[in-house]
Amino acid sequence: MNFLNKALGTVFFSGYAPLAPGTAGSAVVALLYYCFAAQLDTAGWVVVLGLVFVVAVYTAEMLARQWGDDPGRVVIDEAIGFLVTVAFLPHGFWMAVSGFFIFRVLDILKPPPARQLEALHGGWGIVLDDVAAGIYGNLLIRLGLAIYQGGITHG
């Protein structure tokens, strides 16, 4: 079970990247999203987000007990954050790329309440700040799509 926790919590060991493990983990999830999420409908997204969220909180908690508070190797929180960023949006290469960059910026900046959520205990604090960043990212992409598609007019 410890091997499985480490494999999932580090997003298939991408969290061991010597530089920017959160970025490495996000890149792995962006690639997985691009390769496998094209057929997800609303129900599929709900299942994926629910499952990844539960696994993220659990594995982050278990690994934090082993490695200390919010260890850098634990990047499953970036997985759920990225997935929230692109959830329920049109699937495609540019969505994966834009979601990746927007999420990473927001995860680093941690706009309120993300920074406050980070202070929660254990797996909850590790994961919920990334979920908050993902929600902001999703809303920003929706706004960008609305502007690009002419849904918002000037005047």
Domain-wise residue ranges, the chain: 20-148
The single residue listed with the structure tokens 């960043």 is 133
Q: Check residue 4 and give its pLDDT.
A: 95
- Over 50: is that where the pLDDT of 47 sits? yes
Q: Are 134 and 84 in contact (CB under 8 A)?
A: yes
| pLDDT tens-place string over residues 97-155 | 999 999 999 999 999 999 999 889 889 999 999 999 999 999 999 999 999 887 555 44
Distances (CA, A) of 101 to 7, 133, 140, 142: 24, 12, 12, 15
Contacts 24+ apart (CB under 8 A), 88-94: 88/42, 88/45, 88/138, 89/138, 89/141, 89/142, 89/145, 90/145, 91/34, 91/37, 91/38, 91/40, 92/34, 93/34
Q: How far apart are CA 14 and CA 41, in angstroms?
A: 28
Give the pLDDT mean for 31-49.
97
Q: Check residue 110 and give its pLDDT.
A: 93
Name which residue leads in pLDDT, 154 or 75: 75
Give the pLDDT mean for 48-62.
97
Q: How far apart are CA 110 and CA 126, in angstroms?
A: 12
